[in-house]
Amino acid sequence: MLILISCLLFFLTSLILVGLRIFRPEARYTWLVAVGGAMLGFVSVFLWLVQLPLNIALPGIPTLDAFNSSLIFTADGISFPFALSIAALTLSILLTAVTQPVYVNTSVWAGTLALGGAGILAVTSNNPLTLLLLWAALDLTELIIHLSSVDGASNNEKVVISFSTRAFGIGFLLWGSMTSIAEANTFEFQSMSASAGIFLVIASGLRLGVLPLHLPYAPESNLRRGFGTALRLISAASSLILLGRIPVGILTSSLTPILISLTLIAAIYAGWTWLRAPDELNGRPHWVIGIASLAILSALSGNPIGAVAWGCALILVGGTLFLASAQNIRLNRIMLLGVLGISALPFSLTASAWLGNLSFFIPFAIIAQALLMAGFIRHTLRSTNRDTLDNQPAWMQAVYPSGIILLILIQFLLGFIGWDGAMQIGAWLQAIIASLLTFGLVWASRRFRIFNPVRAHWVSTTESRLNNLYQGLWSLYRFFGRVSQIVTKTLEGEGGIMWTLLFLVLFVALITQAAS
């Protein structure tokens, strides 16, 4: 029941905020209600450690009895760190929102809490049906939000295309599930067949923008910090949890080297664009793709625990940077500790990242990791376009940093307790090489122009080039759609019968000629 209690705390607080928004729009204690509910939910997730593993089954969909339609949720060494990271992110968003107007953001805080509860349900899903339903709910929510936050027909089309790629990901999850059912007659992640693992990786890669390389959502969205960060990172976490359930036997597939090669290309490209992005929010899509690529590489190397480590780092380390909207020199120096979370050094959050077998691919993975680390350092030290808290009350100056520091503390805590990847020495040699390369990149970025940040319009131009192929395929689809409509209108018109007879005569003539 602890799983449901944690989620209900987030959902119930969200409903209370909505009620206050409707019936008490001038209430000044809504932020306290939001933070109180988020804090209770965060503490309740910590209580899972007392009873791990936890399991709960709810009645499913009656028409899907053939697929074991029970909705099953499990808190174990794979889902617990994800759930704790999501709960910490939700609380941090509300703590760092202390400087924002109360009346404007009550509904946003309610949405953030609801996303936190849905994210915890998604990462604790223990069978494909449960995860599929939560994916669909998150995708529809994101679709509605993006369509309401972008302008223009072309931007709306990009949102629909992004939604379509996620729908394809759901399709591959179903495909993998059916493959597993056909071979092992099971519909749970723990006992899925190894041959289904490839489909699960492709499903996750499609939703994260890695396989094939593409932006998983429209870059022109107006969503920025706060709710935008929650939407981006929690949605990514719901896809990354699938990598932690990948069967180890996936290494035997002939497609594995091809998928590793494609993932490495995405990782290096995302790391390079992240390093040169003008700021952290413009580079956020590439951070998600880059860290997700490293998670997929860990899964493909037979190390699902490493994929979980990268997934938690995406939330905790990325959230630290994306929520930092105020300038504070001492806080910026503390934020630099976040780079340890993606360093893979012993006893760090990602210490288990490279325990799999990547063979001769490992140098390229280290390069991608170093690019992401160097980009994190550069964006952390950036001091432009950030507000200051000097003129704010003392309590605000104390609460705001606590939201940032919370994510850093959880990052260090997960390096030692609570899950299967804790207390790992890991592949320390690769970690040291990546750290040295990172320092080299930071040093070079101050001295060579090629490493300098680029203007924001460059990012949109590069993203446009990246999506040219997919826009071309979409245009081809629309062309065939128009041809189909013309044919349909022609056959359904007054001359439809004549055209049908003409085609029939031609068909018979061709058959007669072939027979002779």
Q: Is 125 helix (H, G, I), strand (E, B) or coil?
A: strand
pLDDT reported for residue 172: 86
Higher pLDDT, 145 or 469: 145
Q: What's the rounded mean pLDDT across residues 345-366? A: 89
Strand pairing category for 71-75 and 54-58: antiparallel
Name 461's Cβ contacts closer than 8 Å, sequence gap at least 6. none
Q: Check whether the bond before 81 is cis (ω within 30° of 0).
A: no
DSSP H or E segment with residue 74:
strand 71-75
Q: Is 327 helix (H, G, I), strand (E, B) or coil?
A: strand
pLDDT reported for residue 426: 83
Higher pLDDT, 402 or 513: 402
What pTM did the predictor assign?
0.86
Half-sphere exposure of 332 (CA within 13 A, CB side): 16
Does the pLDDT at position 218 exceed 60?
A: no
Does the pLDDT at position 427 exceed 60?
A: yes
Half-sphere exposure of 74 (CA within 13 A, CB side): 18
Higher pLDDT, 31 or 215: 31
CB atoms within 10 A of CB 381: 13
Does the pLDDT at position 432 exceed 90?
A: yes
Higher pLDDT, 471 or 395: 395
Name 354's Cβ contacts closer than 8 Å, sequence gap at least 6. 298, 301, 303, 306, 344, 362, 365, 426, 427, 430, 431
Q: What's the rounded mean pLDDT across residues 227-231? A: 87
DSSP state of 340: G
Distance (Å, whole) CA 49 – CA 57: 19
Does the pLDDT at position 352 exceed 70?
A: yes
Q: What is the pLDDT of residues 442-495, one digit of tens each?
A: 888 777 777 666 554 444 444 555 555 555 555 654 555 565 555 555 555 555
According to the 3-state scheme, what is the secondary structure of 346-413?
CCCCCCCCCCCCCHHHHHHHHHHHHHHHHHHHHHHHCCCCCEECCCCCHHHHHHHHHHHHHHHHHHHH
- Least confident among 91-95, 107-111, 188-192, 270-274: 188-192
Higher pLDDT, 232 or 490: 232
The percent of residues above 70 in pLDDT, for the chain, comes to 78
What letter represents residue 260's amino acid? Answer: I
Per-chain mean pLDDT for the chain:
81
Enumerate the β-bridge partners of residue 58.
Answer: 71
What letter represents residue 415's amino acid? Answer: G
Every domain of the chain and the residues it spans? 2-466, 488-515
Give me the sign of the Cα torsion angle 241, 243, 244, 247. positive
Higher pLDDT, 73 or 477: 73
Query: Residue 205, exposed/middle/buried by CB under 10 A (0-12, 13-18, 19+)?
Result: buried
